[in-house]
Chain A
Amino acid sequence: MARMGSAAGRNKSVKRSLGPLHAVIQQSKVLMVGAGGIGCELLKNLVLTGFGEVHIVDLDTIDLSNLNRQFLFGRQHIKKSKALVAKETASKFNPNVSLVAYHANIKDSQFNVEWFRGFDIVFNALDNLDARRHVNQMCLAANVPLVESGTTGFNGQVQVIAKGVTECYDCTTKPVPKSFPVCTIRSTPSQPIHCIVWAKSYLFNELFGASEDDSAEFDHSEDAENGITSCVAVKAQEIKNLRQEAAELKRIRETMGQPEFAENIFEKVFNKDIIRLAEMKDMWKTRKAPNPLSFKYISAEIEDKAVPTSDQKIWTLAENYLVFADSLDRLSKRILEDKKAGKDVILSFDKDDEDTLDFVAASANIRSHIFGIATQSKFDIKQMAGNIIPAIATTNAITAGLCVTQAFKVLKKKLSDARMVFLSMSGDRGLTTESLRPPNPSCQVCGVARLDFECDTKATTLEEFKEKVLQGVFGYSESISLIHEKLIYDEDYDDNLASSFAQLGIKDGSFLTVIDESDDDADRRVNFIFQIKERPQGESDTPFVTPTRFEIPKRPAQPPSLDSLVLTGKDHSSNGTIPSKDGEVSRKRKADDELTGDNEHEPHKKVKAANDVIVIDDGFIEID
């Protein structure tokens, strides 16, 4: 057994490189959110640089497709917690660093503002918009600097966020989730992605999963900001027809396991429904009508043909049918076996579950064939259906290295030296480095006032809070709205005044936002967020600690136009990287896709194609 390395020897280089900063780093306590591609690199960097205490939070488990870059994991770790395994592996490389891992969601209530305050710096190594925004918000609330980073393929970026000094993550608009009108998906597809969404979010769910009405992929809201066009002109009759079709499919679902199951489904969705659709002459005045496919025709085609084995080659119609029937069989068996065992009998689409992917790929291609749309290889369908972003070790290594150089500036308290760094494939430069920009005064996330509010949530009523705190201390008028997750009070909605905070779901760690609705623009103050801290009321106590008055800034008169922000190239996709030519591919023929007809405004539904944005890079569609 060789002797142990001495701490002095180990630290020799890093001490010389960093000088006095090294002692600060050894004393520091940092949080790393996400232990994936960037996370593995970052943790290795933090451990070897000698950061004193590193906390790791990740909800995810390890998958085979992680192993081409997430080097703290091996095959033996598949399905285990990323956070716990990362801690285990990395701790061997520096005994002087203490690591704490949580296999948990960063949005859990245990990770409250108080907890965030315990860190000197936070690193985001995440892969989704929602968690990024959450951590951004928490760091602002706790006033802890955040190093935000992200990668997509060869592109990456690092940004330092410090409350009141720099832009926050939400100071610039982020691309919104891509979605399609339901009529495009159900009636008038014109692109492969429409058929893939149909197969994944409609057909698959109707047969094996939660059906349309319960599915999260279907967006019922009318949020116009999402850039979704609705089917304004869908006739009442057509909505009724679509519901009818779904109901019929549910009945066929009951015949699962019977020999004619595949035939029944095929006849229904690729023949009967299409015939009905093709009969709607109005719809096909300006586009090519679909051609129904009969089961009889397809069964004659498949004689002696073998099920295809390549996922990169584009399958023929007959091959698609073979995969369709075969995967349907595999999925049915799974459902029936589960049913026998008395288990939950719902399947959900998973890009890494071959049975579900085969079914979606084959069904999407058969539908494309019917509508005269180009069919795709399974490899490409996987990318589109599974929201796959290319990811490689090199980009993560560069990005994580930059995160640490930026953290040095933060810990040295030299924010003015911190930079925003982009990396891209361009062969002439490598990195692009820019100064950090000041906060956007109109930002709804960082351009606000904040206050820790200590109270007994069971004893504090909304009315008391409004009168004694908002009006009494801060001088608000009656023209305000209060928001906690949803609107809980405004001038015309006073139903909750008598309720306690607890009854309204406001608890320790909750945020309660006050919006000034005064008529006079010049007088309106920025949003005011009360960060709730539970303080049980003692015998002679008041229900809450009355805060001291302070001046809440006025809202900026002229919010800068969002366009000007976007044009400077500071708009990042949810994976944190440089802007995409988002969604252009699928929106161009949108108007054409809308059903024509009278102007009867029916409640319309929207289908979300993906959980997040679509990025087009060199012909690949990447969806986070």
Chain B
Amino acid sequence: MSVLGAPTAKEKKYDRQLRLWGAGGQEALERAHILLINATAAGTETLKNLVLPGIGRFTIIDDAVVKDEDLGSNFFLDDSSIGLPRAKKACELLCELNPDVQGDYIDDNITNLIQSSPEKLEDFTTIIVTGDVPVSTILSLDSLLYPTDIPVFVLKCVGFTMTCRLALSEHTIVESHPESTVDLRLLKPFAELVALYEEKAANMDDKEKMSTHDHGHIPYVIILLKALDDWRSTHNGNVPSNYREKNEFKSFLRGKMWNADEENFEEAIAAVLPYFNPPSIPSATREIFEDEKCDKLVSGSSDFWIIARAIKEFTYNMNDGLLPLPGALPDMKAESKDYIRLQNVYKSKARTDLASVMGVVRTLLPGLGRDPNSISESDVETFCKHAGYAKLLRGRSLKDEYEDSPKVKTISNELSDPTSLIHYYLGLRAYEMFISEESNSGHVPPGTEDSTAESDAEKLDQYVKMLLDKLNITHSAELLEGTSKAVREIVRVGGGELHNISSLAGGLVAQEIIKVITKQYIPMNNTVVFDGISSRSQVYEL
């Protein structure tokens, strides 16, 4: 029997996540093709968390064969995998998770691929680097991919420690999912709102003309607008602007109550601090408006920049410096019919603003060689609703971090704090130097042999000092106590992975990847460090 309007099996399977990122986010996931470099435990766990919600495709590149110890940390390898190519076996088990996802593998190492056919890398939409990859290879990947806007996630997971670094030159987010998009325009009400409050609040202070019941049901937005009007007339036309004046204004409101239990007035008083801000353009939005890409649209400009430009023009040329109204109204004590009317005033202003922005978009498009209708109204509407919450992230390349402009200040500031997680970052940078040594052609991790563990640790200590010297950061044994401890913790596990930490890392990284792919929510910019011993994490821009 046909079920009418029934969601498809796919929609049912993904129902719980569609409620977070919607159909648009899901489509973006389904277009994604992800490359995993090395099927480590953290790597396969990351892929697991992407295969389950239904990315389009993934490819694993790895030239390792499966060993006994892989089975102790990697869920996507089993007894029958021993001695076989790790890329192939992990791919097989990951494919079992979701028949809608296509999985492939390359039984080779990434360094070879970069040398033989670097152009192949551009087939992927996101790249995850894990395992013991030498610095030179990571930097080659960076120089190939950073200019292309293909995000690279470098994930290091050793024992209880992990770091994840996102390298992406530009990332734009419209749907940042703020807690609320409410903008009441109290200090700069538009004409229709003025007309409404003048009508509804005319008798707010007149017990002869307004019943107690009606007075207790004036929506708080109307109360505030009317009270502001009264305030201005006794304050040279000014509105309460600082904390003290806002508190005075609260008392002023209290004085307008007819009895102590008027909930609507209490709501008005509570709204003074959060909503009495002069309308301004948030700095994140201003950054977008001021970006060169917004000013200089070209035929290849993305829809984001075209809509941003239209909103900018609307804001400065047509709307007195105000962003388009999002149109949302919080719930409040009121009679239903008044609430609905107030809601309609906000909604219709939002629609008018949207129509104006849409008009600008349509006039911009032909100049860029595009059909004036090639950007949908719903995309413009989403942007208008989020105009004050949109975000532009300008990333830093790995070359910036390693060579061109290291964040010296961040590192030196953190270094003096013995509990800072920067010590683990430095420890893992030293680990990376160890496996990248020319004499260590097999990229063998420090601490692999118990007998050389202490000498390996001392070597890492030396690498940390070399790194700091290169950055001109002064150090001392005392300052490096935390780093030295981190180094020993890292060396202790001999490059091994602990499954629950890899699994947690896989969750953290996949979550960031989903944010980047769906262009929703704000990703961590750009390095997250997690320590499983203290269960703490920290984000640094490095």
Whether the pair A65, B15 counts as a contact (CB closer than 8 A) is yes
Cβ 8 A contact of A404, one of B53, B179, B500: B500
Whether the pair A429, B496 counts as a contact (CB closer than 8 A) is no
Contact mask for chain B residues 64-80; partner A; CB cutoff 8 A; 1 contact, 0 none: 00011101110100111
Cβ 8 A contact of A388, one of B15, B99, B178, B524: B15
Whether the pair A93, B5 counts as a contact (CB closer than 8 A) is no
Cβ 8 A contact of A4, one of B3, B82, B179: B82
A5-B82 contact in complex given A287-B336, A429-B539, C-beta closer than 8 Å: yes
B312 CB, min distance to chain A CBs, angstroms: 24
**Residues on the B chain within 8 Å of A75, using CB:** 99
Cβ 8 A contact of A402, one of B1, B15, B535: B535
Q: Count chain A CB atoms within 10 A of each CB in B14, B16, B337, B511 and give the residue with the most.
A: B16
Whether the pair A65, B12 counts as a contact (CB closer than 8 A) is yes
B418 CB-CB contact with A under 8 Å:
no
**Residues on the B chain within 8 Å of A394, using CB:** 49, 507-508, 510-511, 514
Whether the pair B7, A14 counts as a contact (CB closer than 8 A) is no
* Tally of A interface residues using CB under 8 Å: 97
Whether the pair B508, A68 counts as a contact (CB closer than 8 A) is no
Tell me the bound Cα distance from A388 to B78 in angstroms: 35
**Residues on the A chain within 8 Å of B505, using CB:** 401
**Residues on the B chain within 8 Å of A358, using CB:** 3-5
**Residues on the B chain within 8 Å of A396, using CB:** 507
A190 CB-CB contact with B under 8 Å:
yes
Interface residues of A in 355-388 (CB under 8 A from B): 355, 358, 372, 378-379, 382-383, 388
Q: Which residue of A lies closest to B261 (CB)?
A: A591
Cβ 8 A contact of B4, one of A95, A307, A395, A404: A307
Cβ 8 A contact of A190, one of B52, B336, B521: B336
**Residues on the A chain within 8 Å of B49, using CB:** 393-394, 397
Whether the pair A395, B507 counts as a contact (CB closer than 8 A) is yes
A401-B500 contact in complex given A393-B507, A394-B514, A431-B536, C-beta closer than 8 Å: yes
Whether the pair A64, B9 counts as a contact (CB closer than 8 A) is yes
A3-B510 contact in complex given A13-B72, A378-B5, C-beta closer than 8 Å: no
Q: Which residue of B lies closest to A353 (CB)?
A: B3
A392-B498 contact in complex given A286-B213, A588-B331, C-beta closer than 8 Å: no
B22 CB, min distance to chain A CBs, angstroms: 9
Interface residues of A in 393-426 (CB under 8 A from B): 393-402, 404-406, 417, 419, 421, 425
Tell me the bound Cα distance from A49 to B160 in angstroms: 13
B466 CB-CB contact with A under 8 Å:
no
Tell me the bound Cα distance from A592 to B340 in angstroms: 14
**Residues on the A chain within 8 Å of B18, using CB:** 379
Contact mask for chain A residues 24-45; partner B; CB cutoff 8 A; 1 contact, 0 none: 0000000000000000010011
**Residues on the B chain within 8 Å of A312, using CB:** 23
A428 CB-CB contact with B under 8 Å:
yes
Contact mask for chain A residues 422-455; partner B; CB cutoff 8 A; 1 contact, 0 none: 0001011111010000000000000000000000
Whether the pair A44, B78 counts as a contact (CB closer than 8 A) is no
Q: Which residue of A lies closest to B178 (CB)?
A: A618
A314 CB, min distance to chain B CBs, angstroms: 12
Whether the pair A92, B83 counts as a contact (CB closer than 8 A) is no
Tell me the bound Cα distance from A382 to B7 in angstroms: 11
**Residues on the B chain within 8 Å of A352, using CB:** 12
Q: Which residue of A lies closest to B99 (CB)?
A: A75
Tell me the bound Cα distance from A92 to B82 in angstroms: 14
A222 CB-CB contact with B under 8 Å:
no
Tell me the bound Cα distance from A3 to B525 in angstroms: 45
Q: Which residue of B lies closest to A50 (CB)?
A: B72
Tell me the bound Cα distance from A419 to B531 in angstroms: 13
**Residues on the A chain within 8 Å of B6, using CB:** 311, 354
Q: Which residue of B lies closest to A585 (CB)?
A: B331
A5-B333 contact in complex given A383-B19, A392-B17, C-beta closer than 8 Å: no
Tell me the bound Cα distance from A4 to B5 in angstroms: 51
**Residues on the A chain within 8 Å of B331, using CB:** 584-586, 588-589
Whether the pair B16, A398 counts as a contact (CB closer than 8 A) is no
**Residues on the B chain within 8 Å of A288, using CB:** 336-337
Cβ 8 A contact of B5, one of A13, A17, A309, A433: A309
B439 CB-CB contact with A under 8 Å:
no
Tell me the bound Cα distance from A389 to B17 in angstroms: 9
**Residues on the A chain within 8 Å of B524, using CB:** 427-428, 430
Whether the pair A65, B16 counts as a contact (CB closer than 8 A) is yes
Cβ 8 A contact of B68, one of A6, A323, A391: A6
Q: Which residue of A lies closest to B391 (CB)?
A: A427
B81 CB-CB contact with A under 8 Å:
yes
Whether the pair A406, B535 counts as a contact (CB closer than 8 A) is yes
Contact mask for chain A residues 162-197; partner B; CB cutoff 8 A; 1 contact, 0 none: 000000000000000000000000000010000000
Tell me the bound Cα distance from A327 to B3 in angstroms: 9
Q: Count chain A CB atoms within 10 A of each CB in B4, B7, B78 and give the residue with the most.
A: B4
B335 CB-CB contact with A under 8 Å:
yes
**Residues on the A chain within 8 Å of B333, using CB:** 588-589, 591-592
A616 CB, min distance to chain B CBs, angstroms: 9
A472 CB-CB contact with B under 8 Å:
no
Whether the pair A430, B75 counts as a contact (CB closer than 8 A) is no
A424 CB, min distance to chain B CBs, angstroms: 11
**Residues on the B chain within 8 Å of A401, using CB:** 500-501, 503-505, 507, 532
**Residues on the B chain within 8 Å of A399, using CB:** 507
A111 CB-CB contact with B under 8 Å:
no
Tell me the bound Cα distance from A4 to B500 in angstroms: 23
Contact mask for chain A residues 586-597; partner B; CB cutoff 8 A; 1 contact, 0 none: 101101100000
**Residues on the A chain within 8 Å of B16, using CB:** 65, 68-69, 388-392
B493 CB-CB contact with A under 8 Å:
yes
Tell me the bound Cα distance from A393 to B94 in angstroms: 14
B92 CB, min distance to chain A CBs, angstroms: 13
Interface residues of B in 516-532 (CB under 8 A from A): 521-525, 528, 530, 532
A343 CB-CB contact with B under 8 Å:
no
**Residues on the A chain within 8 Å of B20, using CB:** 153-154, 390, 392
A562 CB-CB contact with B under 8 Å:
no
A240 CB-CB contact with B under 8 Å:
no
Q: Which residue of A lies closest to B84 (CB)?
A: A2
A71 CB-CB contact with B under 8 Å:
yes
Tell me the bound Cα distance from A11 to B80 in angstroms: 17
Whether the pair A433, B536 counts as a contact (CB closer than 8 A) is yes
Q: Which residue of B lies closest to A310 (CB)?
A: B5
Whether the pair B511, A398 counts as a contact (CB closer than 8 A) is yes
A44-B496 contact in complex given A14-B73, A430-B539, C-beta closer than 8 Å: no
Whether the pair A13, B535 counts as a contact (CB closer than 8 A) is no
Contact mask for chain B residues 347-378; partner A; CB cutoff 8 A; 1 contact, 0 none: 00000000000000000000000000000000
Cβ 8 A contact of A5, one of B79, B339, B500, B510: B79
B476 CB-CB contact with A under 8 Å:
no
Whether the pair A393, B48 counts as a contact (CB closer than 8 A) is yes
**Residues on the B chain within 8 Å of A93, using CB:** 71, 75, 78
A281 CB-CB contact with B under 8 Å:
no
Tell me the bound Cα distance from A564 to B191 in angstroms: 44
A18 CB-CB contact with B under 8 Å:
yes
Q: Which residue of B lies closest to A322 (CB)?
A: B4
Measured CB to CB, the residues of A under 8 A from B are 1-6, 8-14, 16-18, 41, 44-45, 48-50, 64-65, 67-69, 71, 74-75, 92-95, 153-154, 190, 286-288, 307-312, 323, 326-327, 330, 352, 354-355, 358, 372, 378-379, 382-383, 388-402, 404-406, 417, 419, 421, 425, 427-431, 433, 584-586, 588-589, 591-592, 618, 620, 622
Would you give 19 A-B contacts (Cβ < 8 Å), ordered by A? A16-B492, A17-B493, A45-B500, A68-B13, A68-B15, A92-B78, A153-B20, A288-B336, A288-B337, A330-B1, A390-B17, A390-B19, A392-B53, A393-B53, A394-B510, A400-B504, A401-B501, A585-B331, A588-B332
**9 smallest beta-carbon distances between A and B, as pairs:** A9-B68, A401-B504, A397-B507, A13-B496, A404-B500, A398-B507, A48-B499, A394-B511, A430-B537
Q: Apart from A41-B503, A405-B501, what 10 extra A-B contacts exist at CB < 8 Å?
A: A14-B499, A49-B499, A326-B4, A372-B340, A388-B16, A391-B17, A419-B535, A430-B528, A431-B530, A589-B331
